[in-house]
């Protein structure tokens, strides 16, 4: 018998090889599937490997008659109905940490690109103009960076920003005092933080609690001329409120790697010179893609072979009657009971 794995989004070759090296595994790559395609394909598979584009809905999960594992090569799981997977006894796992440095470096690049108008100046020069005055920027030295979400990426952004001699403050209701002290960062609630910052960088997951965390009211609490960076998830900022604040000059600029709706070609934000956009590139480095691919491949192999469940984010209600040796319950650290 072979374990059948569906890889639904591009995965680094090293991860694919890891799966193909195993004679008992059969890995199939099928990209760009809509919900209907997934519903018709999924009954064949024991494991599904995805990134952020595949929407694993309740209907997909209900059709997944032999699925045991959903593996996310990356962190965010807002594209997976975890509750439905839990009810169906399917383990959902991700690869925390593998793309942290890349996401942090992308955030710092966005802060600097915004401050020095690099994308706009590059585009202007390539169109034949030599406009030095128009693209005069600002230093980040001595400016205050507010980080919302001081987890893996937020902490790495904080350390790098400190290296640029920015003053870093943060808001994270779940972080320990010890961790904040280690990082040497002032901790505030959101309302206290917002009026202090020159740059606001978001690093929370997208959850019902963080959807539209930064909306009209929050922006109104910010300094005139502040800038916002979002390399976490679309939907954490209310894009309409952001557009209005940029248009009215309340905010000086925004840098976005993620959007309420990906491929935001019809968003009015695209028209604004003060906005720098990248197409969800935070984790798009050779190193991060290799790490997350190898991690997810090894995790899926270990789970299906009944050895160990790593980085599970749910505790499936029942995995009985499966043949993978994942016993009845699995805790968050992957310990089986």
Residues that bind ligand NAD (CB under 6 A): 75-76, 96, 99-100, 103, 148-154, 171-175, 203-206, 209-210, 213, 231-233, 257-258, 280, 282-283
**Which of 89, 98 has the CB closer to ligand NAD?**
98
* DSSP string for 87-135: HTT-EEE--TTTTHHHHHHHHHHHHHHHHHTHHHHHHHHHTT---TTTT
Q: Which of 216, 262, 287, 323 is catalytic?
A: 262
- Examine the residue annotation and report whether 290 is marked as an active-site residue of this protein: no
The reply on whether position 41 binds ligand MLT by CB under 6 A is no
The Cα diameter of the chain in Å comes to 69
Among 52, 120, 144, 314, binds ligand MLT (CB under 6 A): 52
Closest CB to ligand NAD belongs to which residue?
A: 151
Q: Which among 117, 218, 120, 201 has a CA at the least distance from the CA of 161?
A: 201
CB of 161 to ligand NAD, least distance (A): 15
The option from ligand NAD, ligand MLT, none interacting with 51 (CB < 5 to 8 A, set by class) reads ligand MLT
Give the list of residues 6+ apart from residue 226 with CB closer than 8 angstroms, or none: 197, 198, 199, 200, 251, 252
- Examine the residue annotation and report whether 332 is marked as an active-site residue of this protein: no
**Which of 68, 106 has the CB closer to ligand NAD?**
106
Among 33, 200, 283, 296, binds ligand MLT (CB under 6 A): 283
Element (H, E) at 65: none
Cα-Cα-Cα-Cα dihedral of 316, 317, 320, 322, to 10°? -30
Please, which residues bridge with residue 27 across strands?
Answer: 5
Q: Which stretch binds ligand MLT (CB under 6 A): 13-21, 68-76, 173-181, 293-301?
A: 68-76
- How far apart are the C-alpha atoms of 60 and 328, rounded to whole Å? 23
Query: 186-187 and 199-202 as β-strands: parallel, antiparallel, unpaired?
Result: unpaired
Among 6, 38, 51, 110, binds ligand MLT (CB under 6 A): 51
- Examine the residue annotation and report whether 106 is marked as an active-site residue of this protein: no
Strand order in the sheet with 3-7: 25-29, 3-7, 47-50, 69-72, 91-93
**Which of 78, 305 has the CB closer to ligand MLT?**
78
The option from ligand MLT, ligand NAD, none interacting with 264 (CB < 5 to 8 A, set by class) reads none
Q: Which of 233, 239, 260, 310 is catalytic?
A: 233
**Which of 218, 257 has the CB closer to ligand NAD?**
257
Among 15, 16, 69, 74, binds ligand MLT (CB under 6 A): 74
Helix (H, G, I), strand (E, B) or coil at 147: strand
Q: Is 99 exposed, middle or buried (0-12, 13-18, 19+ CB in 10 A)?
A: buried
Tally of CA atoms within 13 A in the half-sphere of 20 that contains its CB: 12
Residues in the site for ligand MLT, rule: CB under 6 A?
51-52, 74-76, 99, 282-283
The residues carrying an active-site annotation are: 233, 262, 280
């Amino acid at each position: 018998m072979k374990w059948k794995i569906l890889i639904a989004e591009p995965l680094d070759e090293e991860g694919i090889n890891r799966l193909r090296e195993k004679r008992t595994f059969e890995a199939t790559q099928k990209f760009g599937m809509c919900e209907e395609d997934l519903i018709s394909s999924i009954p064949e598979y024991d494991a599904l490997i995805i990134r952020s584009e595949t929407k694993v809905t309740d209907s997909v999960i209900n059709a997944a008659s032999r699925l045991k594992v959903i593996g996310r090569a990356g962190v965010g799981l807002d594209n997976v109905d975890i509750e439905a997977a839990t009810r169906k006894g399917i383990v959902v796992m991700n690869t925390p940490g593998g793309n942290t440095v890349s996401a942090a470096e992308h955030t710092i690049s966005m802060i600097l690109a915004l401050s020095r108008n690099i994308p706009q100046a590059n585009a202007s020069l390539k169109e034949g103009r030599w406009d030095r005055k128009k693209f005069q920027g600002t230093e980040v030295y001595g400016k205050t960076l507010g980080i919302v979400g001081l987890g893996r990426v937020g902490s790495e952004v904080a350390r790098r920003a400190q290296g640029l001699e920015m003053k870093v403050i943060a808001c994270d209701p779940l972080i320990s005092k010890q961790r904040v002290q280690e990082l040497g960062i002032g901790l505030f609630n959101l309302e206290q933080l917002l009026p202090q910052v020159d740059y606001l960088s978001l690093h929370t997951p997208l959850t019902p609690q963080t959807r539209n965390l930064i909306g009209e009211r929050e922006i109104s609490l910010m300094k005139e001329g502040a800038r916002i960076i979002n390399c976490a998830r679309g939907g954490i900022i209310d894009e309409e409120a952001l557009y209005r604040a940029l248009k009215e000059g309340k905010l000086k600029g925004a840098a976005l790697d993620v959007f309420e709706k990906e491929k935001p070609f019809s968003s009015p934000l695209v028209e604004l010179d003060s906005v720098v956009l990248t197409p969800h590139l935070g984790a798009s480095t050779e190193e991060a893609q290799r790490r997350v691919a190898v991690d997810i491949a090894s995790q899926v192999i270990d789970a299906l072979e009944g050895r160990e469940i790593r980085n599970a984010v749910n505790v499936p209600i029942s995995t009985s009657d499966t043949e993978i040796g994942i016993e009845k319950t699995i805790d968050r650290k992957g310990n089986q009971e």
